[in-house]
Amino acid sequence: MTGPDAAAVTGAADDAERANAEKAFGFWVYLMSDAVIFAMLFATYAVMAHRVAGGPTGRTLFRLPHTFAETMLLLASSFTFGLSSIATNTGRRPWTLIWLGVTLLLGLAFVGMEITEFRDMVASGAGPDRSGFLSAFFTLVGTHGLHVSVGMIWIVLLGIEVAVRGLNPQVVSHLYRLSLFWHFLDIVWIGVFSIVYLPGLI
């Protein structure tokens, strides 16, 4: 192909590559802004951690086996998402969908355990309005749980997209962004476990 047609094709390819690069940059900016939000929530919790107003403390509220199980679920979901990414890179659409489904189930189990923990705390009179410590705790952990819930909705939508459109470059790009988001949430949870739960049990 030569002449105007070749130039048009080359221009279209360049435009598509430029648009993809802009989307990738925009997503990284979003992740950085999310990191800033969580950093502020961690800082707020650090300030409020000992302001219990005579109410319950982490020592009396937190259950290490429960939180450890949550952590294992989220770490496992990060591993299964990695397996999904490997399947995507090798063009195995069925396995991409299978591992996305397993990741979704693990995420559902994690959120279910988090909701159970919140429900039990509120039922025992340790709601977010009880003290500064509990307000900061519910805000930080709840924000993370909300992000995981958004990630699960995203998994469902991308699973449908993979099933319908296959593993074309645009779909693979979407899956890559979702994987960054999901692994980011895993890292944040390690911070929650290390900064919120473990010191609260000491």
Residues 144-156 pLDDT 10s: 999 999 999 999 9
Q: How far apart are CA 128 and CA 176, in angstroms?
A: 36
Predicted model pTM: 0.86
Asked whether the beta carbons of 42 and 199 are under 8 A apart, the reply is: no
Q: Which domains does the chain have, with CATH numbers?
A: 37-201 (1.20.120.80)
pLDDT tens track for 46-86: 999 999 988 899 889 999 999 999 999 999 999 999 999 99
Q: How far apart are CA 175 and CA 99, in angstroms?
A: 12
